[in-house]
Amino acid sequence: MKILLPPSETKRPGGDLPALRLGSLSLPSLEARREAVIDALVDLAGDEDASRRVLKLSARQVGDVLHNRELRTAPTMAAVDRYTGVLYDALDAPGLDAASRAHLHEHVLIHSAPFGPIAALDPIPMYRLAAGASLPGVAPLRRHWADAATRALAEENAPFVLDLRSEAYVALGPIPASVPSAYVRVVTEADGAARALNHFNKKAKGAFVRAFAEDRVTPTSARALIDWAESRGIRLRETGDPGIWELVASV
């Protein structure tokens, strides 16, 4: 199975792996699309004012322009280590053992704006680009990525896909109808009713993926995944809406 995660706006700086090699990333059918976005982002970074305007950067975020300018030469680190923030802090991939990290790489895809879906250990540099951006010379990212990413996801031939992405990143690559999948909403229960969460949404997703990696489970069906979650004390359930699941979080 595959689990799809969103990226994070916040990232860990530095890296001790070689510079970006787009040809080495997972889902190689996306290489040409990746090249187009990276070229546009590097070109944009040559103009600081234009970068701030297009990427909606504040004066304090001007350093992100330099990161984009150095996309092809900067050191890299595993994507799952690069991203920080609530979800990735709860996942704490750097604290996992080698076998659990390998399990993440096999089963988890992180859907980034410049690279499309990439595997957990694919090495990437620092960058700044959000799903809603429109880069000069490239179609809006939703149009640029959607069809190509959907085809690439279909080519993975996963027996089941659990989609933990935000809606903005779902739009950059909807899961093909031919692939069994479920989109997860994180909720809490109060007075017998389910209520959607925000901050705890990300924390619950990160903790879920960490447990998945620690146990190195390989469920081949939706039922097997739900059964594993229950054995772990995780409340993952189907809803009345086909393809929509709920992850019940404690707050």
Q: Is the pLDDT of residue 228 over 80?
A: yes
pLDDT of residue 139: 94
Tokens of 197: 């969460």
Q: What is the average pLDDT across 94-114?
A: 98
Question: 104 or 197: whose pLDDT is higher?
Answer: 104
- 3-state secondary structure (DSSP) of residue 53: helix
Residue 199 pLDDT exceeds 80: no
pTM: 0.94
What's the pLDDT at 220? 84
Average pLDDT over residues 43-62: 95
Segments of 45-158 assigned E as strands = 77-78, 108-112, 116-119, 123-124
Residue 167 pLDDT: 93
- The pLDDT of 147-151, averaged and rounded, is 98
Mean pLDDT of the chain: 94
Confidence of residue 161 (pLDDT cuts 50, 70, 90): very high
pLDDT at 174: 97
Rounded to an integer, the average pLDDT of 75-92 is 98
Grade residue 162 by pLDDT with cuts at 50, 70 and 90: very high
In the 8-state DSSP scheme, what is residue 26? S
The pLDDT value recorded for residue 250 is: 76
* Model pLDDT, residue 188: 87
Q: Which residues of 198-233 are buried (b: 16+ CB within 10 A; e: fewer)?
A: eebbbbbbbbbbbbbbeeebebeebeebbebbeeee
What are 72's two structure tokens? 């092809």
- Sign (positive/negative) of CA torsion 46, 47, 48, 53? negative
Nearest to 67 by CA among 23, 129, 25: 129
Which range among 115-119, 121-125, 193-197, 204-208 shows the weakest confidence by mean pLDDT?
A: 193-197
Q: What was the pLDDT predicted at 144?
A: 97
Asked if the model's pLDDT at residue 159 lies above 90, the reply is yes
3, containing H or E segment: strand 2-5
Averaged pLDDT for residues 214-242: 94
Please state, as a whole number, how many other Cβ atoms lie within 10 Å of the Cβ of residue 130: 13
Q: Above 60 in pLDDT, residue 191?
A: no
- Range with the lowest mean pLDDT among 27-31, 151-155, 195-199? 195-199
Q: What is the mean pLDDT of residues 92-99?
A: 98
